[in-house]
Amino acid sequence: MNEERYILFDQYLQGELTADAKNDFEKQLLEDPEFASEFETFKEVQFQLANKFGIEQEREAFKQNLTQISEKHFDNKTKVIGLKPWYLAVAASVAVLFGLFFFNYNQNPAFADYNDPEQASFTVRGTVNESLKQAEEAYNAKRYNKAIPLFETVLKKQKTAEIQFFYGVSLLEESHYLKAEAVFNEIHAGTSVYKEKALWYLALSKLKQKDYEACKQILESISEDYEGYDQVEELLHQLD
């Protein structure tokens, strides 16, 4: 969308078009689907900004910020003489306006915000544990794709909740959601110290898939005794 359309859309919404210009605008809305779609997007952004900046003082501060951007990146004297400061801001900040709205003001919590895998540290003895040692090294180096087959080799002969857990985390990091969730569900069904931690990672799996409702439901089932419950509460708050 170019800056001229932003200005035209704003003029229409503010009732500043002449009768003939208004008729031409509405005719184009009916005949040009792309134009109509862009106008609807513009209206939605304006509506959301109005909600976010409902206090006029805050909205004015936002406008002034955009105007400064326009003065920095555009030669206003030669390009848009006579336009109101808000039009200058609109013309100068096509990307900024949509970027602020979609990135800063309408953003759900992200998997990356809560993804902080702990380091693996296994006690390794015997021949089978050579693969476990290699899996540990690959995992701790965040080479999860390499760690996965190594963990699978180990789990055929040495299946513990600890190894399963780090295997599940590796799967999740590589976005193998069904396999990862199957591992975490099996751990949670047991009685190991990884029981609640597996539930937390089940929630993170849903978060990574942007299934926010499922993520919230899992979080609500985590015991308050879980050592990382402060993160559970924080994420629940973000999802509300």
> What band does 3 get if pLDDT is binned at 50, 70 and 90?
low
Identify the pLDDT of residue 149.
Answer: 97
DSSP string, 74-88: S-HHHHSTT--HHHH
What is the Cα–Cα distance from 1 to 124, expressed in whole angstroms? 60
Q: Lowest mean pLDDT: which of 21-35, 64-78, 125-139, 202-216? A: 64-78
What is the Cα–Cα distance from 146 to 34, expressed in whole angstroms? 47
> Tens digits of per-residue pLDDT, 42-97?
777 766 665 555 444 544 555 555 555 555 544 444 444 444 554 545 544 444 55
Residue 218 has pLDDT above 90, yes or no: yes
What CATH code would you report for 111-239?
Answer: 1.25.40.10
Q: Is 82 left (phi over 0), alpha (psi -120 to 50) or beta?
A: left
> Tens digits of per-residue pLDDT, 192-217?
999 999 999 999 999 999 999 999 99
Identify the pLDDT of residue 14.
Answer: 84
Residue 86 tokens, joined = 């808000």
Domain-wise residue ranges, the chain: 3-104, 111-239
Element (H, E) at 70: helix 56-73
Identify the pLDDT of residue 7.
Answer: 81
Confidence (pTM): 0.58
Q: Is 90 left (phi over 0), alpha (psi -120 to 50) or beta?
A: alpha
CB neighbour list of residue 52: distance below 8 Å, 6 or more residues apart? 105
Q: Is 226 left (phi over 0), alpha (psi -120 to 50) or beta?
A: beta
Identify the pLDDT of residue 78.
Answer: 41
Residue type, 60: E
